[in-house]
Amino acid sequence: MKALIVDDEKPVRKSIRLIVDWEAYGICQVDEATNGLEAMQVIQQEQPQIVLMDIHMPLKNGLDLMEWLHTTVPDTKFIVISGHNDFEFMRNTIWYSGIDYILKPIDEKMVNIAVQKAVAAWKEEQQERTALLSKDVSVNEYRPVYSEKLLTSLIEDPRSQTQALRRLRDLAVLPEQITTFRPALLQIDDSDQALSAKFGQEKELLVFTLLNICNELLREREAGIAFKHWGTQQIIVLLLWRHPDAYTTLLQEINQVFAQILQRNMHFGVGPIIHDYVELPAAYEAGMRALRSRNLLLLGQHIHVASAPVSSTATNDEGQELVRFGEVEEHWKTALLSGQSDVIEQAVSKWMVRLQQNGQITPRHLEQWNRDIERFQTRIAYDTIGSAAGELLAAIPKTSAPNPDKDIFSLTDWKAYWQQSLLRLSASLLSTQTSGQNLMNDVIAHMQQNYNQDLSLYDIAKRFFVSREYISRKFKQTYGTNMSDYLTKIRIDHAKQLLRNPQMKLAAIAEMVGFKNEKYFSQVFKKQEGISPGEFRKQHKK
């Protein structure tokens, strides 16, 4: 079992953690939160069975948290530990089914008794929930695969729709008289390990249970049918035909049963009302669009209605300009190339703050941003080390991005994923660049041996399998000058040696050290040495 301590005072949280005999009550994980809002996020992420909370806290206080627990996770047991002997607070604790109201300073015995009562109450109710689940699973048999495939074909195969519809009506799966209905798509979060664990990691058993619950309620109200979509493992389709405009109440009732049995609420994407099965594929796509465009920052909202088709412009449903990764791309590039973990963390943190300030994050946005960031990293790698980037990128350990359709959204998970991705690439690039001194030595040796040839930055970069940008920047960092000036110095140094021979003509010397003509050689020589080649020869005549 898990517990959560919610108090804005750290000493109080520490005191509670120390005085409760967690192990005796089977509690193996104890988390902490400093306010009601943070507690809501932790509860959705960690799903503790027991919550010990204060009343007066910033952002969301204890009363807000009680109400939220009562409506969102009613099976969670909570205990109030407060410094205020206020009847209204006590009355609310009773109203929202709190276990106890304990006054500060904290009495060790009273707190342990309250935790023991909370654990016992939760376990008793859990036995009832398990029995109810077992009953529901055993009452219904698996819906015939044949019927589910026919129902799926109404969405996926318009060409066989007429034949499939006739067979479904012959099997009494779909009523003959139904002419108006709408689809609602139940999304299954396949990354929810805690939920999967309830079913022994058996995905089919989970889907079977969800279908049974949906169809029980739909049959009771003669309101529709639910079936597994055979084209995807994450979607259950509900066809609602009785009062399709009043879908909200029905879907909320289904979610209440989910909360009671599974301690979960599911997300539904609702398509438009249609009057012919020919319209079903488009209505299904509208429901999917509603799921893909739901605002993940809105906690507690589980029914999402399709809006107009998503346009190619990057705006949200209110027409507000959405955040583009290009806004921070240069900042991220600087951070990545710095090789400093704190600079990278700061860059990613600013990006996350910008996303929150925008007020809308959808699964579709997360996928787009992730693609943009992957392309950005690939481009930086190739700009930095050229053709060697392919091998470097392939060698970096890959981790999967958080599920953008995850039921319980965590911006922290995405921050950690992007930050680790940048850190790994930065470390790999830094490692490659650290070995760049050997590369620079090889470049200098090549220039010394071939100074009389037509050497260009492109030729040298190509020879050593790096980008022109990287080798130019690395050369300047190492030697304090650019590559062309360094090459010129080598040529002039050799020319000075040759000028000591009075028999050699200037044109021949110019050609021997890599200059195209005598005039240009003389200009460069005078610019570097302050005197002409002829004057240098006179000074060194002996």
Whether 319 is covered by a domain: the verdict is no
Q: How many CB atoms lie within 10 A of CB 26?
A: 10
Note whether 157 and 128 are same-domain residues.
Answer: no
Q: What pLDDT was estimated at residue 72?
A: 85
Note whether 13 and 132 are same-domain residues.
Answer: yes
Q: How many CB atoms lie within 10 A of CB 236?
A: 21
Question: CA dihedral defined by 301, 307, 312, 318, rounded to 10 degrees?
Answer: -70
Residue 501: HSE in the Cβ half-sphere, 13 Å Cα cutoff: 10
Note whether 473 and 511 are same-domain residues.
Answer: yes
351-390 burial: b if 16+ Cβ within 10 Å, else e: bbeebeeeebbbbbbbebbbeebeebbeebbbebbbebbe
- Spatial separation of the C-alpha atoms in residues 316 and 362, rounded to whole Å: 9
- Spatial separation of the C-alpha atoms in residues 227 and 215, rounded to whole Å: 8
Q: What pLDDT was estimated at residue 463?
A: 79
Note whether 350 and 365 are same-domain residues.
Answer: yes
- Spatial separation of the C-alpha atoms in residues 240 and 183, rounded to whole Å: 6
- Spatial separation of the C-alpha atoms in residues 348 and 346, rounded to whole Å: 6
Q: Is 332 exposed, middle or buried (0-12, 13-18, 19+ CB in 10 A)?
A: buried
List phi, psi (to 5°) of 152. Answer: -65, -35
Whether 314 is covered by a domain: the verdict is no
Note whether 280 and 172 are same-domain residues.
Answer: yes
Note whether 125 and 32 are same-domain residues.
Answer: yes
Whether 50 is covered by a domain: the verdict is yes
Closest by Cα among 204, 201, 75 to 132? 75
Note whether 458 and 383 are same-domain residues.
Answer: no
Tens-of-pLDDT digits for all 542 residues of the chain? 999 999 999 999 999 999 999 999 999 999 999 999 999 999 999 999 999 999 888 888 989 999 899 888 888 999 999 888 888 888 888 888 899 999 888 889 999 999 999 999 999 888 887 776 655 444 344 446 888 888 999 999 888 888 888 888 888 888 888 888 999 999 998 888 888 888 888 888 999 999 999 999 999 988 999 999 988 888 999 999 977 778 889 999 999 999 999 888 999 999 999 998 899 999 999 999 999 999 998 888 899 997 755 444 445 544 445 789 988 999 999 998 888 899 999 999 999 999 988 888 999 999 999 999 999 999 998 888 777 788 888 888 888 899 888 877 888 999 999 999 999 998 888 777 655 566 788 888 899 999 999 888 888 887 776 778 878 888 888 889 999 999 999 999 999 999 988 889 999 999 999 998 899 999 999 999 999 999 998 888 75
Closest by Cα among 341, 300, 297 to 316? 297
Q: What pLDDT was estimated at residue 299?
A: 82
Note whether 176 and 289 are same-domain residues.
Answer: yes
- Spatial separation of the C-alpha atoms in residues 480 and 532, rounded to whole Å: 26
Is the alpha carbon torsion for 477, 480, 485, 489 positive or negative?
negative
The domain that holds 508 is classified in CATH as 1.10.10.60
240 bridge partner residues: 182, 224
Domain-terminating residue out of 398, 432, 466: 432
Domain-terminating residue out of 385, 402, 432: 432
Instruction: Decide the pairing of beta strands 182-187 and 267-270.
Output: antiparallel
- Spatial separation of the C-alpha atoms in residues 78 and 97, rounded to whole Å: 8
Total domains in the chain come to 4
Domain-terminating residue out of 400, 432, 464: 432
Closest by Cα among 492, 434, 432, 497 to 465? 432
Whether 78 is covered by a domain: the verdict is yes
Note whether 390 and 504 are same-domain residues.
Answer: no
Note whether 109 and 200 are same-domain residues.
Answer: no
Which DSSP helix (H) or strand (E) runs through 228? strand 224-228
The domain that holds 189 is classified in CATH as 3.30.70
Q: Which residues contact 40 (CB under 8 A, 6 or more apart)?
A: 60, 65, 68, 72, 299
Closest by Cα among 109, 21, 23, 10 to 54? 10
Helix (H, G, I), strand (E, B) or coil at 365: helix
Q: Which amino acid belongs to residue 455?
A: L
Note whether 357 and 414 are same-domain residues.
Answer: yes
Q: Is 78 exposed, middle or buried (0-12, 13-18, 19+ CB in 10 A)?
A: buried
- Spatial separation of the C-alpha atoms in residues 73 and 45, rounded to whole Å: 12
Whether 310 is covered by a domain: the verdict is no
Two tokens at 12?
Answer: 């109080």
> Which conformational region is residue 266 in: left (phi greater than 0), alpha (psi within -120 to 50 degrees), or beta?
beta
Domain holding 37, by residue range, is 2-138
Two tokens at 328?
Answer: 């921070």
Note whether 273 and 293 are same-domain residues.
Answer: yes
